[in-house]
Chain A
Amino acid sequence: MTNQIGNYSLYIALFASIFLIFQSSNSIRNKSKNLDSKIFSALSVQSLMVLISFFSLIYAFVVSDFSNETVYNNSHSTKPLFYKISGSWGNHEGSLLLWLLVLTIFLFIFFISSKKLINSYRVLTVLFQELIIIGFLLFILFTSNPFLNLFPIPKEGTGLNPILQDPALAIHPPILYIGYVGTSIIFSSSLAALVCGMVNKIWANHIKKWIIISWLFLTIGILLGSIWAYYELGWGGFWFWDPVENVSLMPWFCLTALLHTIIVLEKRNIYQSWTIILSIATFSLSMGGTFLVRSGILNSIHTFANDPSRGIFILCFLLLLVLLSIFIFFIFQKKLLKNLSNSFLVSKETAIIVNNWFMMFFLSVVLIGTVYPIFLEVINGSKISIGPPFYQKLIVPFLIPFLLFMAVGPKLKWIKDNLSKINLSQIILFIISIVISYLLVKLYGISYLLILPLFALAFFLFFLTIKDFFSKESSLSQKVSHFGFSLFILSILFNGILAKEFSSNMKVGDERKFINKIIKFENLKIVEKNNYKSLIANFKISDEKGSMNLNPEVRIYNQPRTLTSEAAINSTIYSDNFIVFNVIKDDGYYNVRYQFKPLMMWIWFSIVLISTGGILSYLKKMIKNIKFIIIILFSLFIFFIFFKGLEKTNDYLPENNLNKIETNLFFKNLYGKNEILLGELIDKNSFSIINIWASWCLPCRDEHAYLLKLKNINGIDIIGINYKDKKSNATEFLSDLGNPYYQVLIDLDGTKSIELGAIGVPETYLIKKNTVLKKYIGPLDNTKFKEIIEIIKNEKN
């Protein structure tokens, strides 16, 4: 039922789109002025229909309606409600529907909020935007329809990739998409403005709001994605130059350039064609990004949906739009005001152009780094990848002049200024910055040449913007953003210099020394959750100042069966302690990675601050009276909430739940054919030991001697469970080393051991009357052996 509703409403939206294209092109030709209400109603119908279809998809996800193919492929009835909802846009079809929704709603908002501007401009914007919308509608309806029926109706879905089951990632796509799609309005309206010949101050003032909104959402969207990668993927950093990340960064550079240029257009009425080119480029990069991520052409470690044919559609559509816009640009470019008003070399205009140059440079570096491997593969078939050093080498040196211009640029006046007005306080700040950086470089003994100027200029920008907060010159939002950027660079530098990383393979109980710290793998617990089982490790990290316990997790999801690692992060304002572990194979070893990351929180915070600048400039008119301090407090508050949310609460189940053993399991015997119920083997009155082992498991050989010793103690039956093994190997093993077992049961596929709560081999449980007294993960050794004897002795008395 919901499938039909969703589907039909999309078709109605398609008709609305066709009607709108027809009407708007008609009205431009006839110059009629009464079409406002018609377009308005068609737009409302369209937005409403897309909204309905979007909500029917969410509804299908919420009620787990598996007659819907998308739901079947991406959901599961045991999933928490929150992830059912976020699952609706966590997949290809749903995410495109979200794109479409934002496209139509934005257009609707644009239309009702632009009533002051001339009609033909508004109608043209509607026309261009509808061209994009119709492309998306066709794409959704014919290549990736989220409302396909499935018959017969499956009982259960296949689940959402557990790695996507995360709060940051649940809201990351919608926010990023708002940013992406916002650029479509900028694109359509700049083309419309070009055609109408109104690329001027008024238009700039109007479109600026849209640019800021898109920029804001894009920034926050990238931030969320980055935070997610930090703790969920266990990559332990904030940026990896992965193609998928780069794809979101490219429109960001473009949009940031546009954000600066539009101010020049607004104030000085120059750079018209450059503004238009930037708008076109920004939108093309957003669309191109979607194309690259969706098509699977990008060889990324995390592209989620792979379907080349879909990618080709987007590519053709994108090419069509770009060609159309270039065509329009060259035809109407003559209409642009050739306003050759005076501007001089030393002026704010130049400073902003310099900003744009840097942005374009960063953009081209990222673009080449991302696209070159694809290009090369097409040319000569060799497969390459470009690592972080490429980007670092090209971007880092240019940050030095960039920071300088960022500090000095905003101080320049429009039209003409001269550099002789540099005052004493600036020089003092500059010298202070150099001294501080010199001391830092000496203190940490850094040999990398560029660090000194980078530190010096970042500090210079930092001090200068702080000083500027007390002056009335230039806008608050600019100060906040630039201040945020200086903080960003400083945190990255400190983070990069002081970060320490350690990785090792550890068994439970192992201890490793790392610089001045001791990392101890104290224990491992198993907790059953609704849709996954989790192994929670307890690591104790101690140094001379004290110690902390961190509890990273490995989650074993059942639908689809996947392992994910949840890093344990202890965040303070000074540093992050990050630990993540991983199961390698069932031999008792766990792969552990510990990172000490100073000022990690400040990296996130500085990005929040940079975007706060965007919020401020948007709200400028409304909040004339409120001082910036309140805003900063507010952003601090958001930041605080954000990190509270990030802190993982490790809710252990109470001990007694772990203590009961599942005895209602049938096993085959190694030496016989009959099925035996585990419960019958367990001694009802006394102790038993269950030992899970395999012939291929080396630690099992180590512990074998202890099992033989245990066998000799009266009153203990050892039940062996042979885990994922070959019968012949198992019998050979026992005849070679001796058989300590009272019964040997076979667990061919390992599923029964999981029911028992085992996570690997060897594991040994000491049991009294169906209750687990003690669980040993990993091989028995002398201390464990003695402990078992001790427990039995005490219990008997």
Chain B
Amino acid sequence: MYGKKVKLRAFFVLLIFLSTILTIFLVIKALEENVVYFKSPTEIKNLSELENKKIRVGGMVKKNSIRTNDSEINFVITDFKNELLVSFKGSVPNLFEEGKGVVAEGFLKDRSYLKAVKILAKHDENYMPPEVNAALKDKK
């Protein structure tokens, strides 16, 4: 028979093994459900199908495109090739401004309309989201 110590060790090893597998399983499952993809307006134009999943869109706020009313802010995100209309209810960050970079998170209603639930802008006056930067470079 194995000693008590060995049994205890085996028990621990088994426990560690099981918990590792459980962890990996849970993490992967949660990842699948909660990943938010980032797209540019052009990529959205070219989407083959619209999923009812949260998405992030990055680009510049088009000049003179912000329209505000009592409850909503509407504006246009552009990557200078394609545009996307965004409507948003909620609070915007300080650096949300026309002609500045912005990231909108929300649900696509069609290929040119996004209902945003969150607006992000970075707190650096010269900030442009890296994705936007890349998207803009691609266009040039």
Contacts and interface: CB of A to CB of B under 8 A. Distances in A.
Given A383-B37, A386-B34, A510-B70, 12 more contacts: A163-B94, A234-B94, A299-B130, A301-B123, A361-B19, A386-B31, A386-B35, A390-B31, A390-B33, A503-B90, A562-B95, A562-B125
A323 interface: no
A582 B73 CA distance: 12
Interface in B68-100: 68-73, 89-98
B91 A582 contact: yes
B71 A505 contact: yes
B125 A361 contact: no
Nearest to B124: A161
A424 B33 CA distance: 44
Given A394-B30, A696-B64, A163 B123 contact: yes
Interface in A332-371: 340, 342-345, 357, 361, 364-365, 368
Contacts of B124: 161, 304
A268 to B, nearest CB: 15
A563 B124 CA distance: 10
Given A505-B72, A587-B68, A390 B34 contact: yes
A295 to B, nearest CB: 12
Given A233-B123, A361-B23, A591 B37 contact: no
Interface residues of B, number: 45
Contact of B125 (A340, A385, A390, A561): A561
A234 B122 contact: no
CB-CB nearest 5 A-B residue pairs:
A593-B91, A383-B38, A390-B34, A589-B68, A503-B91
Interface in A391-438: 393-394
B66 interface: yes
24 contacts: A233-B123, A234-B93, A299-B129, A299-B130, A302-B122, A304-B124, A343-B8, A344-B8, A382-B38, A383-B131, A386-B35, A390-B31, A393-B33, A505-B69, A505-B71, A560-B125, A561-B125, A562-B125, A563-B95, A564-B123, A565-B94, A584-B66, A587-B68, A593-B91
Contacts of B33: 389-390, 393
Interface of A: 161, 163, 233-234, 296, 299, 301-302, 304, 340, 342-345, 357, 361, 364-365, 368, 372, 382-387, 389-390, 393-394, 503-506, 510, 554, 560-565, 580, 582, 584-585, 587, 589, 591-593, 696
Contact of B38 (A296, A343, A365, A384): A384
Contacts of B92: 582, 584, 591
B1 interface: no
Contacts of A554: 94
Which residue of A233, A304, A344, A582 has the most chain B CB atoms within 10 A of its CB atom? A582
A382 B37 contact: yes
A32 to B, nearest CB: 43
Contact of B5 (A340, A390, A563, A564): A340
Contacts of B97: 585
B13 to A, nearest CB: 13
A566 to B, nearest CB: 10
A431 to B, nearest CB: 30
Contacts of A301: 120, 122-123
Which residue of B35, B54, B129 has the most chain A CB atoms within 10 A of its CB atom? B35
A564 B94 contact: yes
A562 B124 CA distance: 8
A387 B34 contact: yes
B56 A504 contact: no
Contact of B71 (A233, A357, A504): A504
Contact of B31 (A161, A372, A593): A372
A332 B96 CA distance: 56
B91 A387 contact: no
Given A233-B123, A591-B73, A582 B27 contact: no
Contacts of A389: 33-34
B30 A393 contact: yes
A593 B19 CA distance: 43
Nearest to B11: A345
